[in-house]
Amino acid sequence: MTIDIRPLHSSDLPALCELYNYYIRETPATFDIEPKSVAWWQAWFERLTQSGLYHARAAVEGDTLLGVAWSAPVAEKQAYQTSILTSIYLGGAARGRGIGPDLYQSLFAAHDSAKIHKIFAAITQPNVRSNRLHEKLGFEEEGTFKEVGNKFGQFWDVRWVARKFMR
């Protein structure tokens, strides 16, 4: 079956909720602790689409959501609007299939190159696959925040990576 990479639709939100809640419950990849509801994702999606600045992309195979990538503000102050913070989450059926780079490239292409200067990602360590994906796409290390998050009874480091905006 063909993998389609397209804008995230509101109809994808229940599957996104399930996908992301897996990462909340089972991994340190997100520092969210409590699972999110579909209603929470609906409010998030409305804010994202109304912003005009940030985007979300979905990788789907038939009716199955394989993964999602989105952009968000690095920080709320206006001077940060030339930078975006990206996130990518892949379901188990997507890992190792080369979907991540295509999903990210689709996300980058959705942005206005006249407005975005730099792209950031924050990766909980250790995470070999995510480090490899970001390095493949030209991200370079900006620094590591040591023991910045506490989840599952232990402290985790977060590696910050960035690249200049290029499609």
Domain ranges, ordered by start, for the chain? 3-117
Residue 29 structure tokens: 């990849």
Beta bridge pairs of residue 67:
59, 90
Distance of CA 84 to the CA centre of its chain: 11
Residues 57 and 71 sit within 8 Å (Cβ to Cβ): no
**The pLDDT value given to residue 25:** 98
Check: CATH 3.30.460.40 for 3-117? no
The pLDDT score that the predictor gives to residue 95 is 82
pLDDT at 127 > cutoff 70: yes
pLDDT surpasses 80 at 86? yes
Task: Write b or e for each residue in 13-31: b if 16 or more Cβ atoms lie within 10 A of its Cβ, otherwise e.
Answer: bebbbebbbebbeeebbbe
So what's the pLDDT on residue 110? Answer: 94
Residue 77 has pLDDT above 90, yes or no: yes
Q: Write down the pLDDT at residue 167.
A: 58
- Given pLDDT bands bounded at 50, 70 and 90, which one contains residue 53? confident
Q: Where are the alpha helices (DSSP H) in the chain?
A: 13-26, 38-51, 99-109, 128-136
Looking at the predicted structure, is the pLDDT value of residue 14 above 70? yes
pTM of the model: 0.93
Higher pLDDT residue, 155 or 53?
155
**Structure tokens of 138?**
């030209």
How confident is the model over 130-142, as a mean pLDDT?
97
Q: Which residue has the higher pLDDT, 40 or 2?
A: 40
Q: Coil, strand, or helix at residue 47?
A: helix
Residue 30: per-residue pLDDT: 97
